[in-house]
Amino acid sequence: MLADLNFLEAWSAVWKIFATAGFVTLIGRLAWSAGPLLTSILIALPVNIGPGLLLVSLTQDSRFVLESALYGLAGGAGVAAFIIGFVRTQFFKNFYLSLLIGALGWGVITWCIFKSELTIERASSLVVLSAVSSYILLPKVKQNLERVATPASWNFLIKRGGVAGCMITCIALAAPFTGPAVAGILLSFPTTLCITGWMLQSHYGLQFVTETYSAASRALILYFTFCFGVIFLAPVISGPAAIILSFISVAALGALSGYLIISFRKRH
Note the maximum CA span of the chain.
Answer: 61
Lowest-confidence range among 99-113, 115-129, 249-263?
249-263
Percent of the chain with pLDDT over 90: 29
Residue 5 pLDDT: 46
Domain ranges of the chain: 45-139+152-267
Whole-number Å distance between alpha carbons of 231 and 267 = 39
Whole-number Å distance between alpha carbons of 249 and 224 = 12
Mean pLDDT of 47-74: 85
Mean pLDDT of 131-147: 73
Mean pLDDT of 103-108: 95
Residue 43 pLDDT: 74
Give the global pTM. Answer: 0.84
Q: Tell me the pLDDT band of 232, cut-offs 50, 70 and 90.
A: very high
C-beta neighbour count of 241 within 10 angstroms: 14
99 half-sphere exposure, CB direction, 13 A CA radius: 17
Q: Tell me the pLDDT band of 1, cut-offs 50, 70 and 90.
A: very low
Residue 2 pLDDT: 43
Q: Tell me the pLDDT band of 147, cut-offs 50, 70 and 90.
A: low
